[in-house]
Structure 1
Amino acid sequence: MADLTRIAQIMAEAVNGPGRPSLPERLCLACVEALTVEAAAITLMADTGHRAGVWASDGRARRMEERQFSLGEGPGVDAFRSRRPVSVADLLSPAEMRWPVLTVDLASAAPVHHGLRSVYVSPLHLGTSSIGVLSLYRSDPGVPGTEEVADIQVAATTVTLAIVGSFMGPSGDVPAQPWLDDPPLNGVEVDQAVGMIMVQLSVSATEALDRLRAHAFAQDQEIDQVARDVVRRRLRFTEEDR
């Protein structure tokens, strides 16, 4: 087990740090420094189809989170839905069939994972409210031990309280969070694209999101890229896409 005082100090420094990098990114970097992990990502979402943003310690973790959202499955999706931690000993193992599409995708696209082999995902929730997940990656296969899990929970609790607390001003009001408005990180374009596809195909929001994800997978693109093309009217879904 790491020194809990050291973990608390590193996380506190991230919370109280300067405005740039953003709070979630500082927390990701702090997790890498404080825990025995090599990459970390924070994904905030209202549900598995509506993501507020993803922040990461490096591009590898960001791509892993983006891929899960694009495919609609993965350890992060399951951790958010179940509100329970999800551990994956080997992301590239053929025996890992909880997420068959993701497993095949990672096995055939090494640049996506860039050597990240295992992940532990902790849901971020306060009471009955879930706000997202904290994903912690390692380059070696394996699962964290009991003491390491305890360390992770300390970090996850700090992340949750820091993010929830950042929305509440001294008087209980809700100040603007500039890091939620960063275009590369927010999910606004996905929501806008879903709305446009609903109109184009006369389908429900769930089916429109499924169509968006299917197109992204077929074209080997991230869902944000496809959504941006839809919103900017470079791509239109037709009856042939139904």
Structure 2
Amino acid sequence: MEDDGRSDGAPDGLAEERWRVAYALADGIRGIPAEGVPAKLCEMCLRLLPVTGMSLSVQAAGPGMETLLCTSDKVAAQLAEIQYTLGEGPRLRATTLRAPVFAADLLRGPEVSRWPVFASQALRVGAQAVFSVPLGGPVTPLGTMDMYRREPGSLSPRDVRVALFAADAIYAAIRTLGRRSTQEPEEGVACLQGAETDRDEVHQATGMIMVLLAVGPEEALARLRARAFVQGRTATEVAHDIVNRTLDITEHD
């Protein structure tokens, strides 16, 4: 019988499937400059999984801080920003649980009652299913691999395995880039350094709020997010105004 590419669940089958995923991603980024690796990894994952788009994020220093490495499209970027601003959603839950979190139906599923605001905003930008898988081990995940679909629906058992194997391979690739940064400073990890600037103003604004209101980093970030939610804006937009002193965080709306 012809092999349909599906594992029968046996250890040898799983190992072969893991190898195929890792090889496909490794082959895809071979010869790619460091700054282009995250985007290429996204592109390769979209070929392996039945999802519409995805993004990669890594945790940064400080509570609630994270940076985007790449997004495959506008909707993926909006979903990342929505979750960052609200402080809720599959990505943040996956980071907390250190386990995959799948929201297969944002229109009628249990996720609607769990994250009502996120669900409504995700639907508004064009996503009806969102999936998040941690990058790295269960103790301290490096970040998350986040995917979405325009239509609702669960991932098949095989697709879940492929997503987990892909997350492992991406984690290894990012860690390899980090090691190369100390050996090849002229190339470095431009992808990681560039990603840091994505949330740089949020970090600065959080520090300013801590000083102005004499609060800790978690409360400072919560206040920034709350202001963004009240104003119907993103956390990044509000942080920009705080840093540029066109918004006084000590004033109430």
Shorter chain as denominator, the TM-score bin is 0.7 to 0.9
Mapped contact 2:55–2:68 kept (Cα < 8 A) = no
Q: What is the aligned partner in structure 1 of residue 162 from structure 2?
A: 151
* Alpha-carbon displacement from aligned partner over 1:41-94 (angstroms, at most 9, x marks no partner): 111114661113241111111110111011000000000111111111112337
> Percent identity between the aligned chains?
34
* SS of corresponding position for 1:215: helix
> 1:2, CA displacement in angstroms?
5.3
Q: What is the aligned partner in structure 1 of residue 77 from structure 2?
A: 62
> 1:21, CA displacement in angstroms?
6.0
> 1:131, CA displacement in angstroms?
0.8
Mapped contact 1:2–1:151 kept (Cα < 8 A) = no
* Alpha-carbon displacement from aligned partner over 1:104-146 (angstroms, at most 9, x marks no partner): 4345xx2x2x2x2112211111363311110121222111121
* SS of corresponding position for 1:144: coil
AA aligned opposite 1:64: L
Measure, in 2, the Cα distance between the counterparts of 1:106 and 1:156: 23
**The one of 183, 203, 211 aligned to 2:215:** 203
Give structure 1 stretches of 5+ with no counterpart.
none
AA aligned opposite 2:247: L
**The one of 137, 141, 149 aligned to 1:130:** 141
Measure, in 1, the Cα distance between the counterparts of 2:177 and 2:34: 15
Q: Tell me the TM-score normalised to structure 2 length.
A: 0.82
Is 2:100 the partner of 1:85?
A: yes
Q: What is the aligned partner in structure 2 of residue 238 from structure 1?
A: 250
**The one of 95, 107, 115 aligned to 1:99:** 115
Q: What is the aligned partner in structure 2 of residue 24 from structure 1?
A: 38
Report the structure, 1 or 2, having the larger helix content: 2
Mapped contact 1:94–1:103 kept (Cα < 8 A) = no
Structure 1 pair 17/65, CA: closer, same or farther in 2 (3 Å)? farther
AA aligned opposite 2:211: V
Aligned residues: 235
Mapped contact 2:38–2:56 kept (Cα < 8 A) = yes
Alignment of 1:138-177 (within 5 A): 138-169=149-180, 175=185, 176-177=188-189
AA aligned opposite 2:246: R
> 1:173, CA displacement in angstroms?
5.3
Mapped contact 1:14–1:27 kept (Cα < 8 A) = yes
* Alpha-carbon displacement from aligned partner over 1:182-229 (angstroms, at most 9, x marks no partner): 278632211110010112222222111111101111222211111111
Is 2:47 the partner of 1:36?
A: no
Measure, in 1, the Cα distance between the counterparts of 2:109 and 2:67: 32
Which is worse superposed, 60-69 or 135-144? 135-144
Mapped contact 1:126–1:160 kept (Cα < 8 A) = no
Alignment of 1:107-122 (within 5 A): 107=123, 110=124, 112=125, 114=126, 116-122=127-133
**The one of 179, 186, 193 aligned to 2:198:** 186
